[in-house]
Structure 1
């Protein structure tokens, strides 16, 4: 995010009192970005060494989680995935009743269910920024790591916290906010993020076990480096995300195996036409990462009342491959500007409504 693009948008959020609980790679990057954007932000991490590192980088780190979140308007929960339900309970108890809570975990169904059990759906918004690095810890964090990232938020039955948090992420991080139901996120993340960790681990692990691993590494170029990059992620972090989304990962892995078996069968029989067709199909999907065309759609809803239609439209937008580029609350209505894949440029169709239209239903 450039300085020229941040001044006006960030101004509305300067002075917001925020806290970050867990200041590793993602939490630390959020902490540093909020600090640079002018928010009043504090942090806490269970590791004393990490707290010292944060102070060396000029951020406010307190000695207890209770002190860090007291009097805050917004708290990001950024600890390891298995700790999030317990951390959510502790932070909710230590923060004010109007404090908005969100997380950055790589799976959403479990923490969303925990929030429901704890009666926190009125102020907890499950979240997941789709960015990171194979490195870990605060020393690898940076204030620009998450700029422009696709940032999943799961809208719940009370939409005011979702709207406010969406506005902040758009203004401060330049995020592309992707609204999804928690279960839909976990299904999509299985193939978009989690299965690639399995494939990277398999390729790197097979290289280690081959007869001449040093020769393989000597020849390794871009395809090997790109394909194995996340294998360098700390093992504990990878295991957490795989076990946290086990059923969805295994389900999507079945499809990946079937496609790989199809390629192997064509290779085994020397079927050039079949191999070419499979790689043409795969290449078309890969090119959508950079060549996808989008159209703009605008919808607005009443701020008060039944939010079923609003939540449904938001979830449909995310499931169709869209994201939010603006969220404005004015004169008793909330207006969303969404960007959706243009018909013919993707694999799904977007939710209802013509391009560039305002629908007041």
Structure 2
């Protein structure tokens, strides 16, 4: 079976990092947090969690380090811990974009057992006190499996994430970034545009704002510097915007000619319902990286890592789910 983690360090105690600390502590894991912001550190310490005085102190003796700081702070964090990591330590992260993190870690910590990660969970709120130990329950969690990823480290993280109730999704950094361009970056850009368009319509429109406006622009309440880290440096977002602009332009031209939005509304309805109405079935997979990556491409995730009896006694298998319709 994959290795279990005895001591875990989480660097960054915002919404995601703080929720990881809480989830791990509630799950019985020994976890130490750290945040350079004294307010976040005090919030975690004041609610009963172990918080170190420095990043180096937090990672001392840890066999898993979780990088949960914003992307601009990543390089400084790596510099602070590079000489403190014990041999064999597994390092993961929770950033939205995976390729920039992968490049930074390979540059600063060559040879480290790094497995990029991205939990698809959260709200527009931020900070440790916005976190919750059940934030990741049933949430997809992209878990990067590159050709040079340490498979044992990947499997150990998959076990941990399943234990937290998350749904590990095997993927590559490039494929993950292309997907989140459409599912995270684009929705945030559209929400900002909607918020601005509504504001420019005047006070009457704002007083009449109801569910369509408030739901569509909800994530515009997210801290702008975080939105930038989720969007900047992702070439795939340009292509996603091109597709959205083409759709909006066609709609605009149809209306200008006296036509109807019904065709677009019907297509959008079918797309949304196709997503909502998916049905899933169980799968049994070998611990083979390419099979696992294909499972992720097919929309699947991992539910458990087990040893099965049979001709290959003690053979490691991964149970999962994927769409069947």
TM-score > 0.5 by shorter chain: yes
The 1:315–1:92 alpha-carbon spacing in structure 2 relative to 1, beyond 3 Å, is farther
Output one character per residue of 1:196-225: Cα deviation in whole Å (capped at 9) or x when no partner: 111000111122222x23x22322222211
Match for residue 208 of structure 1? 199
Choose which of 329, 339, 344 in structure 1 pairs with 2:321: 339
Give the superposition deviation at 1:132.
Answer: 0.9
Match for residue 150 of structure 1? 140
Choose which of 322, 328, 353 in structure 1 pairs with 2:300: 322
Match for residue 36 of structure 2? 46
The 1:332–1:113 alpha-carbon spacing in structure 2 relative to 1, beyond 3 Å, is farther
Give the superposition deviation at 1:258.
Answer: 0.5
**For residues 279 and 11 of structure 2, what CA distance do their matches in structure 1 show?**
38
Give the superposition deviation at 1:118.
Answer: 4.2
Match for residue 56 of structure 2? 66
Please tell me whether residue 283 in structure 1 is matched to residue 273 in structure 2: no
Tell me, yes or no, if the aligned pair for 1:115 and 1:121 is still in contact at 8 Å: no
Output one character per residue of 1:155-204: Cα deviation in whole Å (capped at 9) or x when no partner: 133211110100110012x1111111000000000000011111000111
Choose which of 252, 271, 276 in structure 2 pairs with 1:264: 252
The 1:207–1:95 alpha-carbon spacing in structure 2 relative to 1, beyond 3 Å, is same
**For residues 25 and 150 of structure 1, what CA distance do their matches in structure 2 show?**
16
Match for residue 162 of structure 2? 170
Choose which of 114, 129, 134 in structure 2 pairs with 1:124: 114
Give the superposition deviation at 1:29.
Answer: 0.7
Give the superposition deviation at 1:135.
Answer: 1.1
**For residues 228 and 201 of structure 1, what CA distance do their matches in structure 2 show?**
7
Give the superposition deviation at 1:86.
Answer: 4.0
Tell me, yes or no, if the aligned pair for 1:25 and 1:139 is still in contact at 8 Å: yes
Match for residue 354 of structure 1? none
Output one character per residue of 1:295-338: Cα deviation in whole Å (capped at 9) or x when no partner: 2221214xxxxxxxx22122211122211122225655321123
Match for residue 228 of structure 1? 217
Unaligned runs of at least 5 residues, structure 2: none
1:78-117 alignment to 2 at 5 Å? 78-117=68-107
Output one character per residue of 1:62-105: Cα deviation in whole Å (capped at 9) or x when no partner: 11111111111211100011222442353343121122111000
- Number of paired residues? 317
Tell me, yes or no, if the aligned pair for 1:23 and 1:138 is still in contact at 8 Å: yes
**For residues 167 and 24 of structure 2, what CA distance do their matches in structure 1 show?**
17
The 1:24–1:332 alpha-carbon spacing in structure 2 relative to 1, beyond 3 Å, is same
**For residues 29 and 58 of structure 2, what CA distance do their matches in structure 1 show?**
14
Unaligned runs of at least 5 residues, structure 1: 1-11, 302-309, 346-361
Choose which of 300, 308, 311 in structure 1 pairs with 2:289: 311
Tell me, yes or no, if the aligned pair for 1:25 and 1:136 is still in contact at 8 Å: yes
**For residues 259 and 143 of structure 1, what CA distance do their matches in structure 2 show?**
40
TM-score, scaled relative to structure 2: 0.91
**For residues 253 and 43 of structure 2, what CA distance do their matches in structure 1 show?**
53
**For residues 84 and 183 of structure 1, what CA distance do their matches in structure 2 show?**
19
Give the superposition deviation at 1:116.
Answer: 2.9
TM-score, scaled relative to structure 1: 0.83
Match for residue 304 of structure 1? none
Greater than 6 Å deviation, 4+ residue runs: none
Tell me, yes or no, if the aligned pair for 1:29 and 1:142 is still in contact at 8 Å: yes
Tell me, yes or no, if the aligned pair for 1:85 and 1:111 is still in contact at 8 Å: no
The 1:281–1:202 alpha-carbon spacing in structure 2 relative to 1, beyond 3 Å, is same
**For residues 271 and 320 of structure 1, what CA distance do their matches in structure 2 show?**
37
Give the superposition deviation at 1:121.
Answer: 5.6
RMSD of aligned Cα (Å): 1.9
**For residues 217 and 188 of structure 1, what CA distance do their matches in structure 2 show?**
33
